[in-house]
Amino acid sequence: MAIIIGFPRIGENRELKRALESYWAQKISEQDLLNVAQELRSAHWEHQKDLEFVCVNDFSFYDNMLDLSLSLGAIPERFKGLAGLELYFAMARGAKGIPALEMTKWFNTNYHYVVPELALQTPYLVNAEYIHKQYKEAKAKGFNIKISLIGIFTYLALSRFVDNASFEEHFQAIKKPYLELVAQIAAFEQNPQQITIQFDEPIFVRGEHKEFYNKIKDFYDEIKAIGINVFVSCYFEEAKEALELLAQSKIDGIALDFVYGSTKGIQCLKSTSKRLFAGVVDGRNIWATPLQQRLELLKDIQKILPQTNISVSSSCSLLHVPYTKAKEQKFPEDVSKKICFAYEKIEEIKLLEAKFKNQCTTAQESQWDNQYTYSQNTQSPTQHKQYPIRRKETYRERILMQHSIFKLPLLPTTTIGSFPQTTELRNLRRDFKKGIIDTETYKDGIKAYIRDCIALQEKIGLDVLVHGEPERNDMVEYFGEQLEGFAFSQNGWVQSYGSRCVKPPIIHNNVSRKGTMTVEWILYAQSQTDKIVKGMLTGPVTILNWSFVRDDISRKEVCTQIALAIADEINDLQNAGVKIIQVDEAAFKEGYPLRKEKVAEYEQWATQCFRIATAVAKPEVQIHTHMCYSQFNDIMESIQSLDADVISIECARSGNNLLKAFKEYNYIHEIGPGVYDIHSPQIPTTENIKKQIRAFLEVLPKEQLWINPDCGLKTRKNEEVHPSLTHMIEAVKQIRQEL
C-alpha cells in the first residue's frame, strides 16, 4: 500500500502557530497547548487513514531535530535545571539570558532545524516517553503506525560538535544511546515486530561525509537486530552511494526520491526482498502530478523489482507544502487545476498506487480519466530582448566614472534598504489591500513615511540614502504581485521554523513585467534630498528561490524570465536618473544543489541571470548587491562573476574573518561588510563600531570599503535604529580623521 514520508503539523489554519504564540505569551496553559497538539495529530491521521500507515512522531512543537535531541538527552550544560516544555522551548528560543541553540536551513528547503550541540561528555539520558504518548494516541484510534525518527547519520552530520572531537568519536558516544532509544520504542509492543520505524537519512543524498559510509550497513543491521520493521528514507536527491550499502543491510525497506533523483542504481535491490517506497509524487512542490508519466515510471521499476515489493510514496515529507487548495478562492481556474497541496497529494498517491496495482475503484477510475494533464506545449517564449548579458566596461573603468560623478567621501555610509515597519504602516497597506482606503490616501501615507525616512537619514548624516521600503510587505511578494506569471494563495502557509510560516509566491506561467514597479517611490524619495537615493530591487535568483516554481520548464529558464523583467526595471530607473541601484540576492546561496556535481551548472545560470538583470546598467550607474550570510569561501568565484560594483554582506558576527575570503580571492570590487548586527536589539556603541571598522581596515584597503549595518532594518524599532545609525556615523567620522 501507499505511504507518505511525513505530514505538515502547523495546522490547516495554523492552529499550532497560534497555540504556540499564545502559550509563549502566557495566554494559554500548557494543557491547552497539549490539547491543540493532540487534536491536530488526530486530524492529520484521519487524512492518512487510507494509506498503509499514519505517520507518528513527524509532529513537533518546534522541530524534529530538537525532538530527537531531547529524546536522546543531548542537552547542553547551560540548560541545566530546566525540564519539560520549559526546557524544550528554552533550547529552541533561549530563555532568561540563556542563548538558544542555533538554527539553520534543512538541506535546500526553506525549513530550518535546531542544530544539536554535542560534546563527548554529553550524558545522554534516553527517554522515549514523548514518542510513546503519540504512539498510544494513534494506537487507541486503531491506526496502523509508522514512527518517524531522524537517522543517526543525518543527526550527527547536522550537529555542531562543541568540543572539536571527531565524527568517529561522536559516533561512538551517541551510538549506544541511539540504539537504546530504538530499543525503548521497540518495547512499546510486546512483540517488536509490530513496530515500524522510518529512519530519515536525507544526509545520504549529499554523497559527502565519506567517513560514515563504512558504518551504514553495520549500524542498520544492529538496528534491525532489535527486531522491529526498519525503513530508511533518503530524499531531495538520489542516494546513489548509500543505496548499495543499504541494499546489503538487513533492513526491510527503502524510500527513495524519484522526483529529484532517478531510478538509476536500484538494480542493487533486485536480489533482495526489500520493499521499495517509490517517491514519485513531489513532496516539496505544489503541482498536480503528471500521473500517466509517473505510472510509466513505476512500470519501469517493475521491470527490475516485483510489483508486490513496490509502493507509491511522496518524494519527501509533505511538510514543505501547504495543507489544501480546497479553500483557496482566488486562484484563476487554469492555475487552480494545476495545483496540489498536501491533502490533494495524498489522493494522488492513493490513486497512483491503485492504478499501478489494478485496484482502482470506479470513483478512482473516473478520477484517473479526468486527471489534469500538463499541456506539454507550455513553452517558454523568453523573447530574449536585446539586453546585454555582460557589462561592456570593466569594473575599473566603471568605478572611475562612478567616483567622479558621485564624489562620495572615503568609507561611504549607507543602509541595506528597509527601515522599521511600524504598525501604522502595516495597517495602511492592509487597509489599502482590503479596499478600505483609496489609492490617494495610501500613497499619501507611503510618501509621508518616505519623507520622514529621508529626513532622518539626512539628520543622521548618511551618504547614500534609501526610501525605506514602506510599500513592501515582503521583498519577493512585492515584486511577484506586480509581475505577470505569479499567483498568490490565501492560505498556502508553509512552516519555516517554529511558529513562523511563509506563504511562497507561485510562479505558474511566463514571467514578464506589466509596468514599472519601484520607479515612482524612488523618484519621490530622490525629490526630497540632494543626496543620492539608491533604487532597491530583489534579484532574480532570490525571487526564484523563495517561490514555488513551475516545473514544466527549467529553473534556469524561469530565472532568465525574471532577470529580463528586472532588467526592464533597471532600465527605467536609470532613464529616470537613478544613479545607484541595489539588487538584493539574499537567497542566492540557498539555491545551491545538494550534490557537488550539480553545483557548477547552478552557478553558471544563477550568476548569468544576475548579470542579465544588471548588465543593462550604464557604466556610470552603480550596481550594488546584498547577501545575508557569512560563508563565502566556497562561492567566491560566483560572487566575482556577478560583477556587481559593490556588495554588502553580513559580517557583524564574524569579525573580519569573512573579509579574508575576499582578500584571498583578490576581490577588487567595493564591499560593505556589516558593521553591526541588526538581528539583535542591542544598540552598538561608537567604540564597538570603530573596532569593527578597524578590523576591516586590517584586511582591505580603505578605498574598497563601504560602511553599513549587516541587513535591512525592518524588524527593528525606531528607538533602536536611530541611535545605532548615529553611532555608526560617529564612528566613521572619527576613523576618517585617523586615516
Q: Which residues bind ligand GLN (CB under 6 A)?
A: 416-418, 469, 475, 536, 584, 586, 626, 628, 711-712, 714
Maximum distance among all alpha carbons in the chain? 83
Q: Of 47, 384, 403, 679, which one is the catalytic site residue? A: 679
CB of 321 to ligand GLN, least distance (A): 23
* Grid cell locating 48: 492518512
CA distance 10 to 292: 32
Question: Would you count residue 652 as binding Zn ion (CB under 5 A)?
Answer: no
Between residues 416 and 732, which has the closer beta carbon with respect to ligand GLN? Answer: 416
310 beta partners: 276
Integer CA distances (angstroms), 38 to 32, 42, 141, 282, in order: 10, 6, 12, 27
Shortest separation between residue 112's beta carbon and ligand GLN, angstroms: 15
- Identify whether the C-beta of residue 331 lies closer than 8 Å to the C-beta of residue 325: yes
Q: Which helix (H) or strand (E) holds 560?
A: helix 555-575
Rg (C-alpha) for the chain, rounded Å, is 27
Give the binding range for Zn ion (CB under 5 A) out of 263-271, 382-390, 427-435, 627-635: 627-635
Rounded Cα distance between 697 and 699, Å, is 5
Amino acid at 254: I
Nearest to ligand GLN of 290, 470 (CB atom):
470
Q: 595: which residues sit within 8 A by CB, 6+ positions away?
A: 205, 206, 207, 237, 238
264: helix, strand or coil: coil
Burial class (CB in 10 A: 0-12, 13-18, 19+), 40: buried
Contact 599, 643 (CB under 8 A): no
Q: Please say which residue, 148 or 630, places its beta carbon nearer to Zn ion.
A: 630
Residue for grid cell 543527526:
155
Residue 417 binding target from ligand GLN, Zn ion, none, CB below 5 to 8 Å by type:
ligand GLN
Interface pattern 687-716 for Zn ion (x via CB under 5 A) = ------------------------x-----
Range in contact with Zn ion (rule: CB under 5 A) among 134-142, 158-166, 590-598, 623-631:
623-631
- Which lies closer to ligand GLN via its Cβ, residue 206 or residue 624? 624
Torsion angle, CA of 339/342/344/345, rounded to 10 degrees? 90
In the list Zn ion, ligand GLN, none, the entry touching 617 (Cβ below 5 to 8 angstroms by class) is: none
Contacts of 270 (CB under 8 A, 6+ apart): 304, 305
Length of the chain: 739
* Residue 471 contact partner, candidates Zn ion, ligand GLN, none, CB within 5 to 8 A by sort of partner: none
Helix (H) or strand (E) holding 336: helix 333-336
Cβ-closest residue to ligand GLN?
Answer: 712
Residues facing 231 on adjacent strands? 198, 253
Residue nearest to Zn ion (CB): 628
Nearer to Zn ion, 182 or 476 (CB): 476
Q: How far is the CB of 504 from Zn ion (least distance, A)?
A: 18
CB 194 within 8 A of CB 53: no
With a CB cutoff of 8 Å and minimum separation 6, the contacts of 444 are none
Pick 352 or 522: Cβ nearer ligand GLN:
522
Q: How far is the CB of 715 from ligand GLN (least distance, A)?
A: 9
- Which of Zn ion, ligand GLN, none lies near 536, with the C-beta cut-off 5 to 8 A by kind? ligand GLN
Q: Residue 487 Cβ, how far from Zn ion at the closest point, in Å?
A: 26
Q: Could you tell me the smallest distance in angstroms from the CB atom of residue 468 to ligand GLN?
A: 9
What is d(CA 509, CA 511) in angstroms, rounded to the nearest whole number? 6
Q: Answer with the entry of Zn ion, ligand GLN, none that 506 interacts with (C-beta below 5 to 8 A by kind).
A: none
The least distance separating Zn ion from the CB of residue 416, rounded to whole angstroms, comes to 6
Binding-site size, Zn ion (CB under 5 A): 2
**Known catalytic residue at 679:** yes
User: CA-based angle 117:121:122, to the nearest 5?
Assistant: 45
Q: Which amino acid is at 523?
A: L
Q: Where are the beta strands (DSSP E) in 246-359?
A: 253-257, 275-281, 310-314
- The residue among 9 and 714 lying less far from ligand GLN, judged by its C-beta, is 714
Q: Which does 690 bind (CB under 5 to 8 A by kind): ligand GLN, Zn ion, none?
A: none
Query: Judging by DSSP bridges, how do beta strands 253-257 and 275-281 pair with one another?
Result: parallel
Closest CA to 207 of 219, 216, 199: 216
SS3 510: strand
- From residue 333 to residue 362, what is the string marking binding to Zn ion with x (rule CB under 5 A)? ------------------------------
Shortest CB 418 distance to ligand GLN, Å: 3
Q: Which is nearer to ligand GLN, 555 or 714 (CB)?
A: 714
Q: Is 628 in the site for Zn ion (CB under 5 A)?
A: yes
Q: How far is the CB of 716 from ligand GLN (least distance, A)?
A: 11
Q: Report the residue number, 206 or 589, with the smaller CB distance to ligand GLN.
A: 589
Contacts with Zn ion, residue ranges (CB under 5 A): 628, 711
Q: What residues act catalytically?
A: 679
